[in-house]
């Protein structure tokens, strides 16, 4: 299968195999994401009952939308081969982990809470899993649980038929034992009808095994295991694991009750006891730390909080702009509270989509608290799970789950800020309450359009700027008082005028939008950045510098502020001022690779070769990371090509040039940078040809081109002088 194309999926590698399926990693060529494909083995693919079980797995899982259940995207067939398309998971099964070690109580309880939460959701939808066991519990790199394989699930008839009008509600007949023997409930072992309590018995078996390292009901053959399940009691858990708390023993005993009327009746009931146990464990650990029994680490005196980017659970890569926007707005909201020190966006960017613990983040950033969570967007519904952790003890101070309509997102952000303040016993002033209650817009659709546009602006190409402009104009059409969207229009129109079309109509549109934005919110950093771009595009570099610095004073990590500041200083010949701000600019700009452009040019013009080399190496890493997420960013690719030449990776540079030109063959900005790369290769002819294309496509900034060290070998060429003026040197 490896290397084959199945429908619109390119199979990359094998991940594993079992009795009911073979799983591969594949590339979804339509959506540009990695997925897992689960195929029926060929010898089973024609068996009607096996095929129905396979389809049942897809129907059951796809009927659920829960962060602890593996997401199923589709079921399909290709050349007679049936396969399920699922989210790609990285980590290992609980079975693989338990083969090496038993779980510590804290980890065991955390895993159990997640499983119980998922079962609560499944049971509410009328779905009983019937095969809960370690092999069907997956742990990703962040310790998040994912329940797998709903192939034996019992589905209420209404759900089955809503997915498939011909599907039978249950494949098994009364009197048939269904499941994996060692984890069966007594009613499964007897072949009786099953319900939600069956899964809770299996979960109790799993917890016993995870805590002790052995199964509660054992036997050399299935008949002996059945007898143990039906007639024998397991050894006390605390006897095999002396350090286990008595409450864990009571909890597991109740889950393993043979009479299901005496067992936990719902997953909610079991989850409640688990959460209570977790609270007691965490409280005891925190008391030990406070009494000096901990690691000796000291908590920073100030309430320093690192807000990590929420995990995007939507399974849709295109939703990441929304995840990023929500997280960044929460950072902004919390920054309005004086009793908190909130780490700026660029500081926490390094942890985005990475597997880290609160203690690790706290140690590396010297943060007292870490706010993390996940976000799942489905249609007009939004689920946000968030938790504030004490970075010193891993003790959760506050957590909440929000299941809301998208239109409620601003109220959710407001509530998160207030709840965190309450958890830290910070009393908000009336002014702070008023500040965090301010919404950027009352229209959720306008907000969504704004975030979409914002995600494209920094790519700068004509196509991306046109898309961003369309989004911003749609936003202000929905909300005529949306200051940030007006600032976005001004920013885009000024850049479009500068890069692509020196027509007064673009500057007029920029000025009109900027004036409207300033009338609404004159001190908004985004408004000041747009004013800086207008001044820069007009060649008024001192005004651009003043506006950009004003934005930075109000918000150190203002989007694009250091980039336009660096461009204005460089165009004005103030190279040393650019060099002086290198560290601050890189720290504040995060993943905005544009900021490197004026920094590299100024360092090159000053002859600071060692510093330039270090900055270029940092940009290579930033661009390579960015292109993993946004592979079609032509501007990023052409900048990476230039850096590859600088580090003598010429073949890779040539590949990136070809890729960038193929993506945007007539883009002025891309062609200008192609000229820069060819100059670094000492290829004057191709450099001049590319520069002509850039000129004809609208990029005609003589101040910049005449100062650009990347074009130094062209500065005395007649063709360059014809385009950009100046005198031969």
Q: What SS3 class is residue 220?
A: coil
- Cβ atoms of residues 371 and 359 within 8 Å: no
Q: 28, 110, 117, 131: which is the annotated catalytic residue? A: 131
Q: Where are the beta strands (DSSP E) in 263-380?
A: 304-307, 311-312, 341-342, 369-378
Pairing of strands 145-147, 341-342: unpaired
Q: Whose CA is closest to 416, among 350, 358, 372, 380?
A: 372
Element of type H or E holding 185: none
Q: Where are the beta strands (DSSP E) in 567-687?
A: none
Q: Whose CA is closest to 36, among 56, 53, 58, 64?
A: 58
Cα–Cα distance measured from residue 421 to residue 588, given in angstroms and rounded to the nearest whole number: 26
Q: Whose CA is closest to 203, among 186, 189, 184?
A: 184
Cα–Cα distance measured from residue 616 to residue 624, given in angstroms and rounded to the nearest whole number: 12
Q: What is the number of alpha carbons within 13 Å of residue 139 lying toward its C-beta?
A: 17
Among all chains, which residue has been given the structure tokens 């749609």?
A: 474
Cα 274 to its chain centre, rounded Å, is 28
- Cβ atoms of residues 369 and 455 within 8 Å: no
The residues, ordered by sequence, that sit 6+ positions from 163 with a Cβ below 8 Å of its Cβ are 59, 62, 63
Cα–Cα distance measured from residue 184 to residue 600, given in angstroms and rounded to the nearest whole number: 65
Residue 582 tokens read as 């290198």
β-pair partners for 35: 26, 87
CA angle (195, 199, 203) in 5-degree steps: 160
Task: Number of helices (H) and strands (E) in the chain: give both, helices first.
Answer: 32, 17
Q: How many CB atoms lie within 10 A of CB 413?
A: 20
DSSP code at position 217? S
Cα–Cα distance measured from residue 300 to residue 367, given in angstroms and rounded to the nearest whole number: 7
Cα–Cα distance measured from residue 157 to residue 166, given in angstroms and rounded to the nearest whole number: 11
Residue ranges of the alpha helices (H) in 500-608? Answer: 504-520, 525-537, 541-554, 561-571, 575-580, 582-589, 596-606
- Cβ atoms of residues 315 and 87 within 8 Å: yes
Cα–Cα distance measured from residue 360 to residue 356, given in angstroms and rounded to the nearest whole number: 6
Among all chains, which residue has been given the structure tokens 């360092």?
A: 603
DSSP 252-293: HHHHT-SSTTTS---HHHHHHHHHHHHHHHHHHHHHHHHTT-
Q: How many residues does the chain have?
A: 729
Residue 643 annotated among the catalytic residues of the structure: no
- Cβ atoms of residues 264 and 270 within 8 Å: yes
Q: Whose CA is closest to 156, among 133, 130, 127?
A: 127
Q: Where are the beta strands (DSSP E) in 141-222?
A: 145-147, 154-155
Catalytic residue list: 131
């Amino acid at each position: 299968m490896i290397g084959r194309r199945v429908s619109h999926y390119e199979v990359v590698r094998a991940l594993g195999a079992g009795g009911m399926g073979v799983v591969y990693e594949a590339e979804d060529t339509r959506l540009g994401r990695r997925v897992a494909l689960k195929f029926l083995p060929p010898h089973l693919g024609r068996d009607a009952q096996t095929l129905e079980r396979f389809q049942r797995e897809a129907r059951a899982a796809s009927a659920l939308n829960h962060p602890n259940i593996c997401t199923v995207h589709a079921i399909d067939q290709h050349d007679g081969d049936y396969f399920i398309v699922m989210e790609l998971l990285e980590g290992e099964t609980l079975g693989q982990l338990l083969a090496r070690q038993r779980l510590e109580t804290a980890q065991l309880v955390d895993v159990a809470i997640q499983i119980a939460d998922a079962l609560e959701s499944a049971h509410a939808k009328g779905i009983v899993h019937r095969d809960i066991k370690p092999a069907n519990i997956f742990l990703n790199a962040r310790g998040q649980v994912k329940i797998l394989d709903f192939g034996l699930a019992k589905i209420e008839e209404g759900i089955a038929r809503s997915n498939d009008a011909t599907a039978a509600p249950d494949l098994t007949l009364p009197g048939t034992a269904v499941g994996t023997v060692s984890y069966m409930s007594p009613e499964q072992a007897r072949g009786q009808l099953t319900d939600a309590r069956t899964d809770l018995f299996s979960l109790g078996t799993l917890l016993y095994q995870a805590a002790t390292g052995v199964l509660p009901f054992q036997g050399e053959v299935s008949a002996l295991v059945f007898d143990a399940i039906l007639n024998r009691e397991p050894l006390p858990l605390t006897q095999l694991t002396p350090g286990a708390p008595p409450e864990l023993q009571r909890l597991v005993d109740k889950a393993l009750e043979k009479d299901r009327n005496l067992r936990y009746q719902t997953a909610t009931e079991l989850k409640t006891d688990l959460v209570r146990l977790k609270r007691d464990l965490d409280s005891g650990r925190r008391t030990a730390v406070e009494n000096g029994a901990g690691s000796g680490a000291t908590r920073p005196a100030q309430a320093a909080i690192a807000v990590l980017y929420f995990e995007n659970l939507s399974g849709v890569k295109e939703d990441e702009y929304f995840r990023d926007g929500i997280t960044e707005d929460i950072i902004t909201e919390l920054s309005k509270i004086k009793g908190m020190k909130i780490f700026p966006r660029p500081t926490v960017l390094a942890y985005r989509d990475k597997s880290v613990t609160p203690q690790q983040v706290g140690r590396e950033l010297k943060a007292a608290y870490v706010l993390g969570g996940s976000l799942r967007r489905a249609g007009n519904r939004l689920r946000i799970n968030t938790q504030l952790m004490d970075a010193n003890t891993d003790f959760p101070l506050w957590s909440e789950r929000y299941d809301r309509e998208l239109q409620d997102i601003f109220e959710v952000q407001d509530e998160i800020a207030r709840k965190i303040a309450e958890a830290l016993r910070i009393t908000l002033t009336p002014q702070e309450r008023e500040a965090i209650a301010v919404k950027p817009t009352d229209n959720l659709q306008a907000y969504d359009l704004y975030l979409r546009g914002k995600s494209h602006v920094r790519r700068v190409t004509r196509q991306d700027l046109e898309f961003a402009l369309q989004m911003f104009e749609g936003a202000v059409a929905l909300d005529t008082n949306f200051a940030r969207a007006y600032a976005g229009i001004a920013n885009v129109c000024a850049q479009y005028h500068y890069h692509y079309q020196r027509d007064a109509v673009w500057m007029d549109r920029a000025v009109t939008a900027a004036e409207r934005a300033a009338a609404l919110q004159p001190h908004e950093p985004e408004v000041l950045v747009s004013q800086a771009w207008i001044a820069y595009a007009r060649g008024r570099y001192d005004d651009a510098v003043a506006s950009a610095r004003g934005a930075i004073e109000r918000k150190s990590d203002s989007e694009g502020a250091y980039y336009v500041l660096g461009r204005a200083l460089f165009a004005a010949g103030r190279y040393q001022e650019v060099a002086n701000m290198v560290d601050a600019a890189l720290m504040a700009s995060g993943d905005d690779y544009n900021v490197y452009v004026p920094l590299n040019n100024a360092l090159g013009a000053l002859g600071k070769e060692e510093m330039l080399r270090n900055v270029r190496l940092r940009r290579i890493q930033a661009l390579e990371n960015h292109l993993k997420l946004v592979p079609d960013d032509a501007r990023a690719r052409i900048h990476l090509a230039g850096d590859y030449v600088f580090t003598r990776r010429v073949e890779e540079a040539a590949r990136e040039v070809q890729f960038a030109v193929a993506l945007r063959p007539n883009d002025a900005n891309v062609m200008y940078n192609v000229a820069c790369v060819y100059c670094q290769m000492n290829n004057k002819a191709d450099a001049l040809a590319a520069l002509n294309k850039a000129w004809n496509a609208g990029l005609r900034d003589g101040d910049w081109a005449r100062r650009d060290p990347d074009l130094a070998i062209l500065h005395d060429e007649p063709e360059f002088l014809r385009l950009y003026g100046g005198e031969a040197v």
